[in-house]
Amino acid sequence: MSLAQVYPPLLQRASYSCFVLPRATCCLPSLHARSASQLQHHSPLATSSSTCRDSLNTQSGQSRTYYATHVRGQDQEYDLPKSMGKNETGKYVDLVQMVGKHRKRYTSVYVWGFTYTGALGVPSYFFPSQRKNPIRKPKKFQPIPYKLKFDEKITTAACGYGFSLIGSHTQDTSKVWGMGINTNSQIGYHPKAMTSVEGMHTIISPTEINLPLTKPRKTRVSQVSCGRSHSLILTDEEGVYSLGNNSHGQCGRPIIPLEDYSSNKVIHKIGGIEGKIKQISCGHDHSLFLTEDGHIYSCGWGADGQTGLGHFEDTSTPTRLEGDIKNEHITQITTLADCCLAISESGEVWVWGYGFLGRGPKLTDTAVPECIDMTLFGKSRRRTDIAVTKVWCGHHYFAAVTNNGDLYTWGTNGSGCLGLGQLHSQYFPLKVSLPGQVTHIACGVDHTIALVTKDI
């Protein structure tokens, strides 16, 4: 009996494919499934199929092998109807699902904001249905956090001007994925066709970026960062790589007049920084680098003083930051557009550049780092232990996470990027409601990604 005969309503909705059930995936123990080798020959719509096999010891000490096959559709998942599968001995066995308390848990990825650039990595926002009269139409805004379906184990993420980078890690290798606008090759060179030299200018789903690593199996991607049209990738063994637009020297390499970035294959390795780099951050058209000694280096556009170098000219060579912050031991940096944040060892937040900086309802600019009052992050006489542990900059908006996992955002609220349930600008830090403790945030022009460790 074919899959179409067993479960015709499932196949009539759309095209489906089979995939392996991980051990910790939940399904009803009362359900059974045929082995995938049987199904893939009968179903014309099951383009790929595989079997999840696990040997379990019974109470009698005998080992039994179990099979599981699952079918996933465009909108939701379906368990196959009751049937039986064969093991190696040719005997039929029941399908069971073993979910232990020691199962592995992976970080969830949430996205929200403007969708039409492809930066959220959700193709259904562009193609919600293949029917002649679709029930759903293309979606322009995603005002509340949406859980992104991604098969890789995510370790880091970053948002740029209409594009995003995501870093993943496996036992053997690390990968970087890009999605969104790619007019300046900021998410790598991806030819439109095998015989074409022209690169793709828009990518609506996560696509891998090939890095020129000398030790790909040993090197791990530690962090990714995005600017307006350039990107930085930090590794643990091979330094920092930059790609994309370099018209202001933001990629840390010499500026080449009239350089074509639309189909650019250049991925540059950053040099000239004393000490090992532990963190990177891209501004609009400038870049920041933090060393393990707590020193900040910058390069790129300095018209608004965002480089902190004491002048307003472009620089293509990473140079150490000057000013009052020079004497502070900095533990974290972040920048985007022309505003910057940094955290000192004491957990205080320093801000400079241009925008709603969190110090009142006025657009201000400063080339000297200033400290934000810690009471705005929940610190009080009763909660003296509150400290900011991580900060991020968006396009004229900011985000900060405290040591108890609370998220605060403030600044310009374009397209609802602050996640506060309204579209008005926020002049001081305000807490965001999310289903769990926040561990990582990525801010773009008008969209935001949050990594949450535990769903409620």
DSSP 51-68: -EEEEEE-TTS-EEEEEE
> Do 89 and 190 share a domain, yes or no?
no
Percent of the chain clearing pLDDT 70 (strictly above): 71
Burial of 273 (0-12, 13-18, 19+ CB in 10 A): buried
Whether residue 298 has pLDDT greater than 60: yes
Express each pLDDT in 40-78 by its tens digit.
333 333 333 333 334 334 344 443 433 333 333 344 443
Within 13 Å of residue 335, how many CA atoms lie on the same side as its CB? 39
Q: Are 273 and 349 in the same domain?
A: yes
What confidence score (pLDDT) does residue 193 get? 64
99 falls within a domain: no
The answer on 54 and 183 residing in a single domain is no
The pLDDT confidence band at residue 411, using thresholds 50, 70 and 90, is: very high
Q: Which residues lie closer than 8 Å to 17 by C-beta, 6 or more apart?
A: 46, 47, 48, 49, 71, 72
Domain span including residue 203: 108-452
Q: Do both 231 and 329 map to the same domain?
A: yes
Residue-level pLDDT at 64: 40
Is there a single domain that holds both residue 130 and residue 79?
A: no
Classify residue 45: in a domain, yes or no. yes
Final residue before a domain boundary, out of 40, 58, 93: 93
For tokens 């390795």, the residue is 269
- In a domain, residue 303? The reply is yes
424: Cβ contacts below 8 Å, ≥ 6 apart: 413
102 within some domain: no
Q: Which of 35, 64, 93 is the last residue before a domain boundary?
A: 93
Is 358 part of any domain?
Answer: yes
Q: Is 447 in contact with 114 (CB distance < 8 Å)?
A: yes
pLDDT of residue 3: 36
Mean per-residue pLDDT, 275-295: 93
Q: Give the chain's domain count.
A: 2
Q: Are residues 52 and 181 in the same domain?
A: no
Residues 82, 120 within the same domain: no
Whether 101 maps to a domain, the answer reads no
On whether both 303 and 354 belong to a single domain, the answer is: yes
Domain-located, residue 103: no
Q: pLDDT tens digits for 326-378? A: 888 999 998 878 988 999 898 999 888 888 889 888 767 777 788 899 999 99
Residues 112 and 75 occupy one common structural domain: no
- 64 plus 197 within the same structural domain: no
pLDDT of 34 over the 60 cut: no
E-assigned strand segments in 301-443: 315-320, 330-336, 339-344, 349-355, 364-371, 388-393, 397-402, 407-411, 426-432, 438-443
The C-alpha atoms of residue 228 and residue 87 are separated, in whole angstroms, by 55
Tokens of 193: 């066709």
Q: Given a cut of 80, is residue 380 above it in pLDDT?
A: yes
CA-wise closest residue to 354 among 342, 344, 368, 343: 368
CATH number reported for the structural domain that contains residue 339 in this entry: 2.130.10.30
What is the rounded CA–CA span in Å between residue 348 and residue 341?
Answer: 10
202 in the same domain as 161: yes
Mean pLDDT of the chain: 75
User: Is the residue at 156 inside a domain?
Assistant: yes
Distance CA 207, CA 193 (A): 15
More confident call, 104 vs 330:
330
Range picked from 3-12, 30-39, 300-309 for highest mean pLDDT: 300-309
The string of pLDDT tens digits covering residues 149-171 is 777 788 899 888 889 999 988 77
**Mean local confidence (pLDDT), 214-230:** 91
The rounded distance, in Å, linking the Cα atoms of 370 and 344 is 12
Among residues 41, 59, 93, which one ends one of the domains? Answer: 93
The CA distance from 373 to 43, in Å, is 63
CB 56 within 8 A of CB 100: no
Q: Looking at the structure, tell me whether residues 349 and 410 fall in a common domain.
A: yes
